[in-house]
Structure 1
Amino acid sequence: MLRLLLHSYGQFDRRHTIAPVAWPHFDLLHVHAGRLRLRVGDTPEFFLKSGESVLIFPHTPFSGGAAGDGRVRASVQHFALEEPVDSENAVLRAWAGRKQGFALLAGPNANSVDRDVARAMELATRPANAVNTALRAAQLTLLLGRFLQAAPSRPPPETSSAESLHQIMTWARTRGGVVTVGEMARRAGYSAAHFRLLFTAAFNERPAAFLLRLRMNEAQRLLRETRGTIKEIAGKTGYADAVAFHRAFVRRTGRTPANYRRQFAPRG
């Protein structure tokens, strides 16, 4: 059974913070304007910008506040999912029983969600009766379905997400960046889409850009410190051939691999 609780809207700045708190119900937090910093559970701090949402599961600690000196306008919808859950409602069944975790609706996946949240807020202002309650429940179910479509969520891995992300970065570094985003996501225990959102929010860099940076750093090291051919270095940094490596290196550094070696490799 979906039980609707509070639905509120407000504005705050850096003087106002979300104190560390964990509620026994779901929190659907949506940013209407500004930029909100959040820390949920053990994950690194991340940011939500205008038009983005986070669904925080019951008993999950979180805290946050306005990012920088700006003001934030946000709304929050509290609700509970209690047994028995409608067996024919696949959306509610998917979220029932979730604890200690969260899901994000951000980036391109959040397109037009502002309109859905505005509709939910408008319904919350109507008189409490059976019809309006049913409409509110249907609108919230629609929003929960958007989360499922965007990034199917799951409870956190056995280690904290923060530890997992840093451990995976270290693992990628030891391999010179010659891994895939999919491999990183599997090690973290998330879908690739959800992992991209978490990684980008935590480190302000897309995982693909992080891997490219590692590969280019390794390529520069090999050009400076070894006598390997361009083709050999291309293979060691994950490129199928020297042509693809040459193009990527020029885009990244503004120099050809051969010019870089001539300029920076020790003489003698």
Structure 2
Amino acid sequence: MFNLLALNHIRHEAVRHLFVVIRFYTMAAPPPAYRVLLSAHCNRVRCEPDWHLGPDWAPRLRDYDLWFVSAGRGRMLTDDGEFALTPGVGLWMRPGRRYEATHDPAAPLVVNFFHFTLNEPPRRFTPPAEILRTAHPDFIEAMMRRILTLRAKSIPSAHTSANALFGALLGELVRETTARAPAVAAPGLDQHHREIIQHLVAEIREKPGAVRTVAALAKTAGYSVDHFSRTFEKITGQRPQELIISARLARARQLLAETGLTISQIAETLGFRDVFFFSRQFTQRTGQTPSAYRAALSP
């Protein structure tokens, strides 16, 4: 029997999914003069510890390749210089350019890649952005998972949907990147701040249970707590503690759904000071207790 909390959660999820659908259909898309056609060479991979992208790869590139980092840390070298690879960073790779990459074996890269062409592109077309960045990596990640699922099907209509979704997603990444281009392209110290914060955000998302206090994060970054918090919110749109809690609760939902860990074990694993504090935080964010959330998932 559904209790009231479970019903409220279902309503909340329905509204959330409706918002995602509305957002997708109102996103900026590539110019209508051409369509995006995905190839079969699309996937999501976790790079091996000794992985690297060598100088012999780029000369063999014959189509476009959208690269999007979901997790991990690395470095990418292009014709325009070197930059950090962290979650939320992507590249619209194109033939004739330089692409060499490495990663940290202790935090291996997880990458979504999509090879594609443009059907009837404008003459002398140049992609409007090469390095793409988003402040909404979870949304982009969810869309990419759906696109990969559709592309793996053998049904033509599924491929048509995958192409349409991918075209809109690419357009949104370009729109968001170009809209915030002045901040992204800021030289010197501004870019240094951004890379430090992005590195810490990657750590928080990868290991939410191991995250230290905001004061400890600020010390790692070399900032005072107040300056760190202001810089962090300016770059990510969230206060540090807010992102830490969100990352922990997102992982808690996964553990409740996918494992047999007790609620006390989950609270301890994710760094909550006690199970009661964890339950209170979880209930405030989801509208139901951890036990009710897990029970609502049962068939």
TM-score, with structure 1 as normaliser: 0.50
The alignment partner of 1:204 has SS state of helix
Question: In the TM superposition, what is the alpha-carbon distance from 1:136 to its structure 2 partner?
Answer: 1.0
Question: In the TM superposition, what is the alpha-carbon distance from 1:3 to its structure 2 partner?
Answer: 2.7
Choose which of 89, 101, 108 in structure 2 pairs with 1:71: 108
Greater mean deviation of Cα atoms: 96-105 or 108-117 = 96-105
Match of 1:148 in 2: 174
Match of 1:11 in 2: 46
Match of 1:40 in 2: 78
Match of 1:265 in 2: none
Question: In the TM superposition, what is the alpha-carbon distance from 1:65 to its structure 2 partner?
Answer: 2.0
Question: In the TM superposition, what is the alpha-carbon distance from 1:200 to its structure 2 partner?
Answer: 7.6
Q: 1:127-166 maps to which residues of 2 (within 5 A)?
A: 127-129=154-156, 131-152=157-178
TM-score, with structure 2 as normaliser: 0.46
One-letter amino acid of the structure 2 residue matched with residue 195 of structure 1:
A
Choose which of 27, 35, 54 in structure 1 pairs with 2:65: 27
Aligned-residue CA RMSD (Å): 3.4
Q: Deviations over 1:198-231 (max 9, x none)?
A: 8689x53349xxxxxxxxxxxxxxxxxxxxxxxx
Does the CA-based 8 Å contact 1:109-1:150 persist in structure 2? no
Question: In the TM superposition, what is the alpha-carbon distance from 1:149 to its structure 2 partner?
Answer: 1.8
Does the CA-based 8 Å contact 1:34-1:72 persist in structure 2? yes
C-alpha separation in 1, matches of 2:124 and 2:147 = 20
Query: Residues 132 and 18 from structure 1, CA distance in 2 versus in 1: closer, same or farther, beyond 3 angstroms?
Result: same
1:112 and 2:139 aligned: yes
One-letter amino acid of the structure 1 residue matched with residue 158 of structure 2:
N
**Structure 2 alignment gaps of length 5 or more:** 1-34, 196-225, 228-299
Q: 1:43-122 maps to which residues of 2 (within 5 A)?
A: 43=81, 45-67=82-104, 69-83=106-120, 85=121, 97-98=125-126, 102-106=130-134, 108=135, 110=137, 112-122=139-149
The alignment partner of 1:98 has SS state of coil
The alignment partner of 2:170 has SS state of helix
Off by >4 Å, runs of 4+ in structure 1: 198-201
Question: In the TM superposition, what is the alpha-carbon distance from 1:115 to its structure 2 partner?
Answer: 1.0
Does the CA-based 8 Å contact 1:36-1:64 persist in structure 2? yes
C-alpha separation in 2, matches of 1:13 and 1:139 = 29
One-letter amino acid of the structure 2 residue matched with residue 37 of structure 1:
R
Does the CA-based 8 Å contact 1:58-1:99 persist in structure 2? no
One-letter amino acid of the structure 2 residue matched with residue 135 of structure 1:
S
Q: Deviations over 1:87-111 (max 9, x none)?
A: xxxxxx6x982269613124x2545
C-alpha separation in 1, matches of 2:146 and 2:189 = 29
C-alpha separation in 2, matches of 1:100 and 1:151 = 10
C-alpha separation in 1, matches of 2:104 and 2:73 = 6
Q: Deviations over 1:57-113 (max 9, x none)?
A: 332220102135322221210111142x4xxxxxxx6x982269613124x254521
Match of 1:220 in 2: none
Query: Residues 50 and 200 from structure 1, CA distance in 2 versus in 1: closer, same or farther, beyond 3 angstroms?
Result: farther
Q: Deviations over 1:19-75 (max 9, x none)?
A: 1232232111122221232112232x2122234322223322201021353222212
C-alpha separation in 2, matches of 1:142 and 1:200 = 34
Between 1 and 2, higher relative CO (CA 8 Å, sep ≥ 6) is seen in: 2
Larger radius of gyration: 1
1:204 and 2:192 aligned: yes
Query: Residues 121 and 36 from structure 1, CA distance in 2 versus in 1: closer, same or farther, beyond 3 angstroms?
Result: farther
Question: In the TM superposition, what is the alpha-carbon distance from 1:4 to its structure 2 partner?
Answer: 1.6
One-letter amino acid of the structure 2 residue matched with residue 125 of structure 1:
A
C-alpha separation in 2, matches of 1:27 and 1:102 = 11
Higher share in helix: 2
Choose which of 181, 185, 195 in structure 1 pairs with 2:185: 195
The alignment partner of 1:17 has SS state of coil
Aligned length: 160
Query: Residues 150 and 33 from structure 1, CA distance in 2 versus in 1: closer, same or farther, beyond 3 angstroms?
Result: same
Choose which of 36, 39, 48 in structure 2 pairs with 1:2: 36
One-letter amino acid of the structure 2 residue matched with residue 132 of structure 1:
A
C-alpha separation in 1, matches of 2:103 and 2:170 = 25
